[in-house]
């Protein structure tokens, strides 16, 4: 059993297509989509592409997917109770507009989004039981990095019945230990931080942190032809000139677990 883990695609269809071509070349038995397919500049197209795959595919939700579902289930914008943030509070404008626009593009997939679980497990040759979650095994919003002290992470992963945990959410790949548990971040297909390209993970029999290069300049031009709100800041800047690891470590210092 060989498994490809694709996390944090964020509606970046060109990046997803490039990764799927790499997957076709190397061959896998299963794909796990680890949350945050949404929001992003090409949400409907990205959902459609993932759901038409001819490789067995399992999905879990991320905070972004749940935020889109909350938008779709609310009777009016003022009734939205979940925004995908660790604070739980509503996002300031124009971010709210970005969420509302993305949600409307995927209205036909509301039931699909509602069916995704928080975690899934797969038995993988050479690794044993692997638990896939978006942020941590207990929720989809917690933040930790390769630098988060182990003693703070021990309660987060206590009681996990797996040999490996695969996560995402922070858009930065790493491979570390928490106690005796191996914890691997798959990075982001659509919006990796600290690097360009599309990051993903191959599992079985070992663990391989992968990067797929694609034409980000061409992708930026495609995004500019969409009606995605804040397209320059949210869709173009982050694929052409992503923030550095150090910038993110500083920004998240007060919000880590």
Per-residue pLDDT at 234: 84
pLDDT at residue 183 tops 90: yes
Looking at residue 237, the DSSP 8-state letter turns out to be: H
Per-residue pLDDT at 21: 98
Per-residue pLDDT at 208: 98
Looking only at the bridges linking them, the beta strands covering 119-124 and 30-33 are unpaired
Average pLDDT over residues 62-75: 97
pLDDT at residue 85 tops 90: no
DSSP SS3 for 124: strand
Span 104-142, pLDDT tens digits: 999 999 999 999 999 999 999 999 999 999 999 999 999
Q: How far is CA 128 from CA 113, 131, 161, 164, in A?
A: 28, 10, 11, 8
Average pLDDT over residues 73-88: 88
Domains of the chain (ranges, CATH numbers) = 3-252 (3.60.21.10)
Per-residue pLDDT at 254: 81
Per-residue pLDDT at 211: 98
Span 188-227, pLDDT tens digits: 999 999 999 999 999 999 999 999 999 999 999 999 999 9
A 10 A CB-CB count for 195 gives 16
């Amino acid at each position: 059993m060989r498994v490809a883990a694709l996390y944090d695609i964020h509606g970046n269809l060109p990046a997803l297509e490039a990764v799927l071509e790499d997957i076709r070349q190397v061959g896998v038995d299963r794909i796990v989509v680890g949350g945050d397919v949404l929001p992003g500049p090409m949400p409907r197209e990205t959902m459609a592409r993932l759901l038409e795959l001819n490789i067995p595919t399992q999905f879990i939700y991320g905070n972004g997917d749940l935020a889109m579902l909350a938008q779709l289930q609310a009777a009016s914008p003022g009734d939205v109770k979940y925004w995908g943030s660790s604070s739980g509070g509503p996002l300031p404008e124009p971010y709210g507009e970005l969420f509302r626009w993305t949600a409307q593009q995927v209205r036909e997939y509301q039931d699909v989004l509602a069916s995704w679980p928080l975690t899934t497990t797969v038995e993988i040759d050479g690794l044993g039981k692997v638990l896939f979650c978006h942020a941590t095994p207990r929720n989809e919003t917690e933040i930790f990095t390769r630098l988060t002290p182990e003693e703070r992470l021990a309660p987060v992963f206590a009681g996990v019945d797996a040999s490996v945990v695969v996560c995402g959410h922070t858009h930065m790949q790493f491979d570390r230990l928490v106690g005796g548990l191996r914890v691997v971040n798959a990075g982001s297909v659509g919006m990796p931080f600290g690097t360009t390209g599309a990051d993903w993970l191959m599992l079985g029999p070992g663990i391989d942190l992968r990067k797929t290069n694609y034409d980000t300049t061409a992708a930026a031009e495609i995004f500019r032809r969409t009606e995605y709100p804040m397209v320059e800041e949210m869709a173009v800047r982050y694929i052409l000139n992503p923030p550095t690891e150090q910038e993110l470590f500083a920004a998240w210092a007060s919000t880590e677990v």
